[in-house]
Structure 1
Amino acid sequence: MSNLSNKVILTVATTGAWPQKSDTPNIPLQPEEIAEDILDCYNAGASVAHIHVRNDENKASMSFEKFEQTVKLVREKCDIVINLTTSGGIGLSDEVRIKPFYELKPEIASFDCGSMNWQHNTVFENSPSFLEKLGNAMQEVDVKPEIEIFDAGMVYNALYYLKKGVLQAPLHFQFVLGVPGGMAATVENLVYLKSLIPQDCTWGALGIGKMHLPVMYATMALGGHLRVGMEDNIFYAPKVLAESNRQFVERTNRIVAEMGKEIATPQETREILGLENWNVSGHTK
């Protein structure tokens, strides 16, 4: 293994479930444009692509066909690490949420470690029975969970599932701060969450909206990894829409370099996260 202590994993979340072309004309929504956007971000240095898809009406979706098409296009173009969401909609069956990663075998998939009142207007449900089914299914197909944390109780849920064997060490956490209904995007909250996780874990963090940059700087200072993209923030600066997801990636590259670090390549990312046995065909060696 190469020396990875100075490497920062950079995930790009190009699409998400909520922004529309009416919010920003620059967001990719259908498989061809998502794949082209991911390739553009890969060429700019992104390590991981966190993928959501939309239906034909550009609404949030867990359509297996859309995931299959998007993943195929991305794999044909580059070797970026693929991370599929399991939460691309509300009120979906367990099977619909699990099928994309179970069949397509990305390296990573999201594991949202608890339920919450999402944006004060609906329930984002991740029941105990679903989380057990989800964790066990990920182990069956050798997909690494990215444990998404929206408040502190979710960390304790993850530690419970680790003890129970639903999750396996070393864990990889993603702290998602600033979603209404979850923990606010503050440096103090980030420091607190980091203090709760085992020392052998890897982790990253992001701040939604205007707290994107403060959380990024704090994450780097604390030794974490980064996520950028229009899923989390459509503005490059106050009242200035981002021209592309690549623009976020390029800025992050400059910030990382200014702090004396480097963005991890996809292969270095696989080493950091313990994915060395994965290959781009989607099967373990």
Structure 2
Amino acid sequence: MNTDIILTCAVTGAGDTPPKNPNVPVTPRAIADDCVAAARAGASIAHVHVRDPETGAHRHDTAYFAEIVDRVRDSDTDIVLNFTAGGGGDLIPELIGTADDDRQIRAAAGSDLQTPSERHAPIGELLPEICTLDCGSLNFGNAVYLNTADWLREHAALVRDAGVKPELECFDLGHVWFARQLIDEGLIAGDPLFQLCLGIPWGAEADPATLLAMRDKLPVNAHWAAFAIGRMQMPMVAQAMIAGGHCRVGLEDNLYLSRGVKADNAELVAKAVDIIQALGGDVATPAATRETLGLRGAP
């Protein structure tokens, strides 16, 4: 069991969740405020997506990330910032044409596709301490999250050369396998950091057997965390800790504090802290997190 827990709060995500819970932050100001609130509730890391302030839709704009950084730092509240670099992989395939020899597949409305260099743009300019690297493709609901092997190699090299710590997000066992390949090819610097992402249809299921199967495939020098979505979020806090890992909560993954009770990010962090402490552990400070993970600026 791990008793020194790095606790991440994923504050907003990319899904169409603001209509379902008004506490999901949308504007850069609101996202920054939730990063600060999560830190004050005990979180070590804030995982950050950005959204269109008018529509709430997922965006990639460097200016929005920069505003969040400035607001968090101006608050004098310390928290490690982890930017998503996984946007721009959403493919909704559409079949056009009628005859067998005339049919084509194209990206339908709602698709959001970027090259590795486009995904990396906010990271390369702002140099957060951590950014995500989603380690494969996935049937994501009725869409496809698209991330080919060569795209991942290119993206991993960009992150490595920027000196940012990649969080290797793995949604299935094959993603862990390919992350190990990136390590073997020298594309991941230092001790790797993994995030095991459970319960997303149609990836790895959110249960102890799947968690342990993925954990057992990690390199011996890996730091790792795990999370589950929806009602399995808090059970996975306990399961990840008992299995030797770190933990993640937040409105990106779950909108409820309990059945029918809509949460905010600080409440989810506080509930996770209670679970961690009840199991005999404690949550790492941002400073201790930097030292453990070997982040830029660590002593």
TM-score (norm 1): 0.92
CA RMSD across the alignment: 1.4
Specify the alignment match of 1:282 in structure 2. Answer: none
Residue identity in the other structure for 2:165: K
| Contact persistence 1:15–1:27 (CA under 8 A) | yes
Residue identity in the other structure for 2:169: E
Name the CA distance, whole Å, in 2 between partners of 1:54 and 1:228.
19
Specify the alignment match of 1:278 in structure 2. Answer: 297
Instruction: Answer yes or no: is 1:105 the counterpart of 2:124.
Output: no
Unaligned runs of 5+ in 1: 280-284
Name the CA distance, whole Å, in 1 between partners of 2:74 and 2:123.
18
Specify the alignment match of 2:193 in structure 1. Answer: 172
State the Cα deviation string for residues 130-162 of structure 1 (Å, max 9, x = none).
211111111111100100010000111011111
Q: Which moved more, 1:171-180 or 1:11-20?
A: 11-20
CA apart distance, 1:95: 2.5
Task: Find the structure with the greater CA-based Rg.
Answer: 2
Identity of aligned residues (%): 37
Name the CA distance, whole Å, in 2 between partners of 1:35 and 1:196.
35
| Contact persistence 2:16–2:57 (CA under 8 A) | no
- Give 1:103-252 correspondences, 5 Å limit: 103-119=125-141, 121-242=142-263, 244-252=264-272
Residue identity in the other structure for 1:156: W
Residue identity in the other structure for 2:133: F
Which residue of 28, 53, 57 maps to 1:31?
28
Name the SS of the counterpart of 2:216 in structure 1. helix
| Contact persistence 1:53–1:88 (CA under 8 A) | no
Name the CA distance, whole Å, in 2 between partners of 1:93 and 1:198.
28
Residue identity in the other structure for 2:238: Y
Name the CA distance, whole Å, in 2 between partners of 1:83 and 1:128.
23
| Contact persistence 1:19–1:231 (CA under 8 A) | no
Name the SS of the counterpart of 1:255 in structure 2. helix
Name the CA distance, whole Å, in 1 between partners of 2:189 and 2:127.
18
Specify the alignment match of 2:85 in structure 1. Answer: 86
| Contact persistence 2:11–2:35 (CA under 8 A) | yes
Specify the alignment match of 1:45 in structure 2. Answer: 42
CA apart distance, 1:258: 0.9
Residues paired across the two proteins, number? 273
| Contact persistence 1:118–1:124 (CA under 8 A) | yes
State the Cα deviation string for residues 197-235 of structure 1 (Å, max 9, x = none).
112111000011111122211111111101000000001
Specify the alignment match of 2:63 in structure 1. Answer: 65
Name the SS of the counterpart of 1:24 in structure 2. coil
| Contact persistence 1:31–1:53 (CA under 8 A) | yes
Specify the alignment match of 2:12 in structure 1. Answer: 15
Unaligned runs of 5+ in 2: 91-112
Name the CA distance, whole Å, in 2 between partners of 1:64 and 1:176.
25
